[in-house]
A and B are shown apart, each in its own frame.
Chain A
């Protein structure tokens, strides 16, 4: 930022419009504004701060020039404004802040808040309004750092006070934009912490454990399947033994007839088992479709509602479908010729029923009605079938029991035969029958186990896949956390290195400035700005000496620090100082005025005549581009800006 021109209008001591132009050439970069106490130096300094930032004053009313207020008629509106033209990175801007007040008989009523505008001047000379002016100003010279570039001489020794390390740190951070790195590091650290909290919430995926469980179950299935094969082998072997025994009993004279009976009984048992299996299948079909038998009430209600609507003419008669149904019910064709159920005419009429595609509610209602008409008959038939099937099942069960009992009796006769061979065969038969039955039971139980395990395996596989997906998500989350934390840590390193570099450079620059001030050169040999941002000066005995500083010495030290900071920051910003040398001795002033023009591209000094005298002014003279005198009129209480030279 380089200041070009300041125009004040009815602002404090300045009645009407007053203007001053700042020097901005490379060689003559100093603007000096002389003024006695109360002439308006601080007002002009305030004008710059107020125009850009709305800062520097508590009372809006005190900004308006009193003479302008006096001259205005009662009821009139008086305006005070400050316009500041400046250049930044090749672009020219005009900032204007205006305040209005109404003059009442006894008071000045400030009209709302000051208005602010920022205009950009195009190359053509046309001005265009800047949108988001505060954002633009913030980027040019943030309010946080303005007090280090536009600084008040009264407060200039703040940095050198014993407990000022916080302020020094704040100044370095703001001026050198270290807070950006700090912010970046903070946000990345927060992002990593947030991700970490989310990561913990997700269930710990125990993929290995689930995989082990799956493997174990599969192994168990394999084992049981192996056992099934063995059992089938055992069953086959047992069957062979039983067949051998049966053959032997058939061959023996004494047992042939009985064995023949047993063979017949076993065939009958087989037949009954087969019939029972078929019956169970039929029962299953009817039972699982038997829900139609539960909703007779609903069907009756629905068909009744539909009939009611049809009788009231609310549903079109659907002549076609209804007619077909009527014809099929009556077994009479439309031409009055009778036909038989199942003949060609019957089938033809049935086919016609299925051709229609319902497209309207009426069609849907009628089709539903037609389908529901069959339901009661279907339900009745189903019940009848089920009842019949259950009766048949009972018969088959009884039959089975009876045949089984008879077969058991035949086997018993073999076991108690007076012939040893037959007895032996009978007992073997009994053992093998028992074994066979055991094997069948085991076969059945194992089949159940396999089915259960298969379902469990399906479930474990699902859970494992879910866990694997969560693990993958976890892995990605972990990677994100790593990246965020690494970036935060890297930024922290950059910050530390950069901050340390800046601190050392400021320290070195401030040391250089102090040396150039040739200030108690034999007394104070070293300046330090330590890692905690404590500004200290050491005497020739190596002892800290700042606590013993006078106010003026603190001012010099602060100035040295500020100038070092401004130089190191390489910011394009002017140094604007309001009575900076008030408390300095002439020796200090002379040294500082020789050094200070080098510290910034543009320097503006608001000074009393006492501050800049003789040698001090002579030091500055080669670098002064423009000089003003503030002429205060006792009569009007107003100041006029007069260019000198």
Chain B
């Protein structure tokens, strides 16, 4: 008699074990549903677009007037990787994307919004590379344009420079000074960093690559 009970109990126990340890339950669900721990793209992004981004968002931009104030207190995200406000952090983000490996624990600290942002940027850069849409940096539709716009939105909710637009240059030439960058020149002469794109596009003979900017070069200035 007792043996019957034990056999039944054994069957039930084995069944429960099989149910709980099914391969198709928890782990697949994690992969199918929402974002869990989105890690940075481990493969280095290559191509002309990234080279331009690296050069334009170089150290010189850090010193420019792009960072228009402290980041709003509401964006209290982890200070390590995803402090969005200034070009400094954009540069760090991009540098991280182009580095070979990123350890996972850093990504766990990102907020879901930051994870989604990084995921979107990675997707965007891949799309641009895949479609050959290497839009001139700064031009509408390029990654640089989007990054800078986002930075400006976060750092300066009420952009003051609107009322103090720099007057358009008198003649249409500008001599590059030491320490200048394309974005810095655009900001200085036009008060609008989006002019980086047209500036670069108009000087393709002088600047085969954006980081070929040298002091003493004479740039042709586009119309506003």
**Is chain B a partner of chain A in the same complex?**
no
Q: Which residues of B contact A (CB under 8 A)?
A: none
